[in-house]
Amino acid sequence: MNSPSCVSVDRPDWDIFCAVVDNYGDIGVCWRLARQLSAELGMSVRLWVDDLASFARLCPSLAPSLDAQSIEGIEVRRWDAAALPAVIPAKRVIEAFACNLPEGFVQAMAACQPAPVWINLEYLSAEDWVGGCHGLPSPHPSLPLRKHFFFPGFRDNTGGVLGEADVSARREAQLADPAAGWAALGLTPPLAGELTVSLFCYGGERVDAWLDALLAHGEPVRVLVPDGRGAAEAAHWCGQWLAPGWQGQRGAVRVQGLPFVEQREYDRLLWLCDLNLVRGEDSFVRAQWAARPFVWHIYPQDDCAHLDKLRAFLALYAAELPAASAAALTDFWLAWNHGVGIEPAWRALLAERAALAEHARRWAAQLAQRDTLAVNLARFCETLL
């Protein structure tokens, strides 16, 4: 890529670079952030994505064959490191989750006067050390550029949590007419007295163990399983093949597969369910905005560092819960992530449903009182321009 002059009336406010990983969390976060910067803050955004086919599953209106297109006011560009077009870098450049910017683009940034604000957007964490690293600069070893690390988080000394300004209002409007919400998802409302749970996880034997626990408990339950890892285990548990529209029942447990849905429809599903089992980062945050009890399957790491992140969030989230509720929540989250001890932990969790539901509503209300990640990010960059 050549380095063009940095003087251009078409220079966007933001460039966001995103490398899609196998579980869609990175592009999920970047797509929500891009839309919020555009729709709420009125800024122009150019989003670079290296895997448009995977992105299209989250955004069905996107055409994976096109190198450049406009979706909801966002300029979406194909990120091909070998053939990146010569463009003027934006005033603010985000490399999401240490995805490493193309060298030619970095050279073009260095040619700009003033240089763009360069942000490494990190993963969300509740760990104590995050506040001390949030906002720290890192000079480039050979170019007149400085990268700043921006850490999302739950405390005032971090970058906040991603969420739209109207997410709470949209959720409450939907809950005022749940039948319409179920119809929009192509589903019937739950039966009288039936617990409705969404299941989105990384799969494994935990799925069979949990469904066995539901069966043993005997309470009517409907389990809704979006397409992805974990769906095959759920289908096979109820004697079905993994195929479009699959569903089955054992005892009082109904299990139904759902197609992979775009983000707004997934939000709707979380709002309507009584309890949500989620994974990764994007659905983890959306479950919190849903104001429903939830269970987090954190992305596993070989060195078990993910368990430190899990415990750090649990300590923060459960701090205001009654002791029995906090213990039940912690025990099931750990059982779910380890894949062992699920049945007794599930029984204990169900016994605390009312307290957990009330706490989830309070937590979501607290999130809504704080500035969101997009607002904090924009404010941080303004101090550096």
Residues tagged active-site? 26, 281
Task: Give the separation between CA 346 and CA 335, rounded to whole angstroms.
Answer: 9
CA atoms within 13 A on the CB side of 337: 24
CA 186/CA 182 separation, integer angstroms: 6
C-alpha angle 306/149/19, rounded to 5°? Answer: 65
Q: Report helix angle 353-368 to 282-289, nearest 10.
A: 100
Amino acid letter, residue 37: L
Three-state DSSP at 124 gives coil
Q: What is the C-alpha to C-alpha distance for residues 221 and 36, in angstroms, rounded to an integer?
A: 36
Return the structure tokens found at 28. Answer: 């999920």
Cα dihedral across residues 8, 381, 100, 33: positive or negative? negative
CA-only gyration radius of the chain, Å: 22
Kindly provide the b/e burial profile for residues 298-317, where b requires at least 16 CB atoms within 10 angstroms of the residue's own CB. Answer: bbeeeeeeeeebbebbbebb
* Helix, strand or coil, per DSSP, at residue 105: helix
Residue carrying structure tokens 């800024």: 43
How far, in Å, CA of 12 to CA of 139, rounded? 24
Give the other-Cβ count within 10 Å of 129's Cβ.
11
Among candidate residues 297, 284, 267, the one with its CA nearest the CA of residue 202: 297
Backbone dihedral region of 291: left (phi > 0), alpha (psi from -120 to 50 degrees) or beta?
left
Residues 6+ apart with CB under 8 A from 7: none
Matching residue, tokens 């790491």: 301
Contact 46, 93 (CB under 8 A): no
Most distant CA atoms of the chain, gap in Å: 68
